[in-house]
A and B are shown apart, each in its own frame.
Chain A
């Protein structure tokens, strides 16, 4: 039981700065990183991933819908899992919802840690979970017609890397 106690306290590490947001408007990822890293005094490394709406294939727009009662809780639980698994000083997860054009940022995940491996792996971990387990539904506008995007097997396979 003692081990379980320690495990739980790590899962809700109050020392880790977290910034989790869902945005309905375009954002500039670079503008988020400076203020984020400033809150993590003494960090040794920061790793940032930015995902953008892919162009090509006649894609005019991408629309991301979600279910508010589940989405934010899901993102907070993912941050808990990352804090539990990696030694982090800070975690930023910003995700767009609504309609976007090719080239616009859709997601930004940044992790700050004392050592590089924790920050790099935490970002990889969060992205794999966001791609397959977050409560988002996507559709693309191609040639004036909306097409729903089905779940990809590859995204589920990526999740298994963390088991």
Chain B
């Protein structure tokens, strides 16, 4: 799921990825985005201010991402507030 301006950068609201191992870690995700979406979204999610949630829980360190088959990964740019 691409939230906020990340959806504009990706050109869509969501993407679905499958991995032969059934797991996607942070370097895998950054590479998948670069190769299958575009380099701009890959760079934007790697920005320190972009947070990541898996199944509705925000990761304290996105580089520890360990997404499994069926997980929903949300890419969250800095919020602009209510």
Q: Pick from A69, A106, A139, A152: contact of B82, CB below 8 A.
A: A106
Beta-carbon contact of A151 and B82 below 8 Å? no
Specify the chain B residue showing the minimal Cβ separation from A149: B80
B70 to chain A, nearest CB (A): 15
Beta-carbon contact of B76 and A138 below 8 Å? no
Given the interface pairs A69-B74, A70-B58, A135-B76, the reply to whether A107 lies near B53 with Cβ below 8 Å is no
Chain A residues within an 8 Å CB radius of B8:
148
Beta-carbon contact of B82 and A95 below 8 Å? yes
Number of interface residues of A (CB under 8 A): 26
Main secondary structure of the interface of B (DSSP, over half): loop
Beta-carbon contact of B82 and A64 below 8 Å? yes
Asked if A155 CB lies within 8 Å of chain B CBs, one says yes
A114 to B44, CA, bound (A): 48
Chain A residues within an 8 Å CB radius of B78:
150-151
Chain A residues within an 8 Å CB radius of B53:
67, 69-70
The 4 closest A-B pairs by CB, nearest first: A69-B56, A137-B4, A130-B82, A131-B81
Interface residues of A (CB under 8 A from B): 51, 64-65, 67, 69-70, 73, 95, 106-107, 130-139, 148-152, 155
Task: A70-B58, A130-B82, A152-B81 are known; give 17 further A-B pairs, CB within 8 A.
Answer: A51-B82, A65-B3, A67-B1, A69-B56, A70-B56, A70-B74, A106-B82, A130-B81, A131-B82, A133-B81, A134-B79, A134-B81, A135-B76, A136-B80, A150-B80, A151-B78, A155-B81
